[in-house]
């Protein structure tokens, strides 16, 4: 019988309403079976670990990502799959980060949550939780069906570092604009095997250092020289995620190109991704992005913002040189980019 570990970090899925005050509070996760008795029907041993102080996902940061990764690493040989219960607001950031932190992952790590608390009458929490566990528990010929970090929400399984949250109100809160679904949950679980990572048989390695000395610069019509200069002048800045228009375009004002060029000459990495939900950066396709090619802006292609931020944190935390990091940013390390 397989063994699944549930890791509760916080978020709406683990909330119940206080009968006296009416406010939402975290419940003792040991009482999970009382809220979801259907868990007894799953053909697996289910254990759980809860953060000592469950946190809202808006408070999640690199230290919390490393805590989740450490729990998985410490329990890796004792369990066949992992389900991380997490607030939905920053779930895609955590999923992306875990994909880079957990190198040579050969078991399922499925993140899920809910839009309504698990104790609510119309909650989406039960279905999300039960199906996430079932996915983590599924094997074919004793090999995990989804040996990667993924997000499950409202009948759809997404590659973690390809997912984005698109709605604060709909149950279907996530999308994966540039990559197919890994699985769909209907009457049966339908896995899209051709787009799921394959196991490589290597030992799991934990990348324990993340460097968050990065900034983001989102282009908009009317952006000023002072605004751009302020961002690029942040002390100890090592990298910038440049969110551009369309296929990677930005203003061609000389002051803007010069500021970006000066930053790159100082050793600051500038990674260009599109503000568009779908599609890819294509530097040089239009004249408005040709200067980026000349000065050494890195093409982020179709990476999500979440993947771009966390990939930079991961790479900056390694001992790689700037030139090596620039090369790796343009490679698919965990399936986060289309080549």
Which positions are annotated as active-site residues?
12
321's enclosing H/E stretch is none
* Upper half-sphere CA count for residue 134 (Cβ side, 13 Å): 23
* Separation between Cα atoms, residue 319 and residue 317, nearest integer Å: 7
Identify the sign of the CA torsion 272, 274, 278, 281.
negative
* Separation between Cα atoms, residue 56 and residue 88, nearest integer Å: 9
DSSP state of 66: H
Is residue 57 within 8 A of residue 87, CB to CB? The reply is: yes
* Separation between Cα atoms, residue 94 and residue 92, nearest integer Å: 5
- Spatial CA neighbour of 124 closest among 11, 285, 282, 253: 11
Per-residue burial over 294-318, b = 16 or more CB atoms within 10 Å of its CB, e = otherwise: eeebbbbbbbbbbbbbbbbbbbbbe
- Chain length of the chain: 339
- Apex 37 CA angle, 142 and 4, nearest 5: 25
* Separation between Cα atoms, residue 204 and residue 98, nearest integer Å: 12
């Amino acid at each position: 019988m397989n063994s699944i570990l549930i890791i509760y970090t916080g978020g709406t899925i683990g909330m119940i309403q206080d009968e006296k005050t009416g406010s939402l509070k975290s419940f003792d996760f040991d009482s999970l079976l009382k809220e979801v008795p259907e868990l007894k029907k799953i053909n697996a041993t289910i254990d759980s670990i809860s953060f000592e102080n469950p946190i809202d996902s808006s408070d999640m940061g690199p230290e919390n990502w490393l805590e989740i990764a450490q729990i998985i690493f410490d329990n890796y040989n004792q369990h066949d799959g992992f389900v991380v219960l997490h607030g939905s607001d920053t779930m895609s950031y955590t999923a992306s980060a875990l994909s880079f932190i957990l190198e040579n992952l050969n078991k399922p790590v499925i993140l899920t949550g809910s839009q309504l608390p698990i104790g609510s009458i119309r909650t989406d929490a039960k279905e999300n939780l039960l199906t996430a566990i079932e996915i983590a528990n599924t094997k074919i010929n004793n090999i995990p069906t989804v040996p990667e970090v993924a997000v499950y929400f409202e009948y759809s399984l997404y590659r973690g570092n390809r997912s984005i949250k698109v709605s604060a109100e709909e149950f279907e809160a996530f999308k994966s604009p540039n990559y197919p679904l890994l699985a769909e949950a209907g009457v049966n679980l339908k896995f899209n095997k051709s787009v799921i990572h394959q196991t490589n048989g290597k030992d799991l390695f934990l990348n324990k250092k993340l460097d968050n000395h990065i900034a983001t610069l989102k282009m908009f019509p009317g952006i000023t020289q002072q605004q751009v200069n302020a961002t690029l002048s942040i002390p100890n800045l090592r990298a910038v995620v440049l969110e551009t228009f369309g296929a990677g375009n930005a203003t061609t004002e000389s002051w803007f190109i010069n500021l970006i060029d000066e930053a790159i000459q100082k050793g600051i990495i500038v990674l260009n991704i599109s503000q568009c939900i779908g599609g890819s950066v294509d530097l040089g396709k239009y004249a408005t992005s040709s200067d980026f090619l000349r000065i050494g802006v890195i093409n982020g292609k179709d990476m999500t913002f979440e993947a771009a931020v966390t990939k930079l944190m991961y790479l900056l935390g390694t001992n790689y040189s700037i030139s090596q990091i620039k090369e790796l940013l343009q490679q698919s390390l965990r399936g986060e980019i289309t080549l």
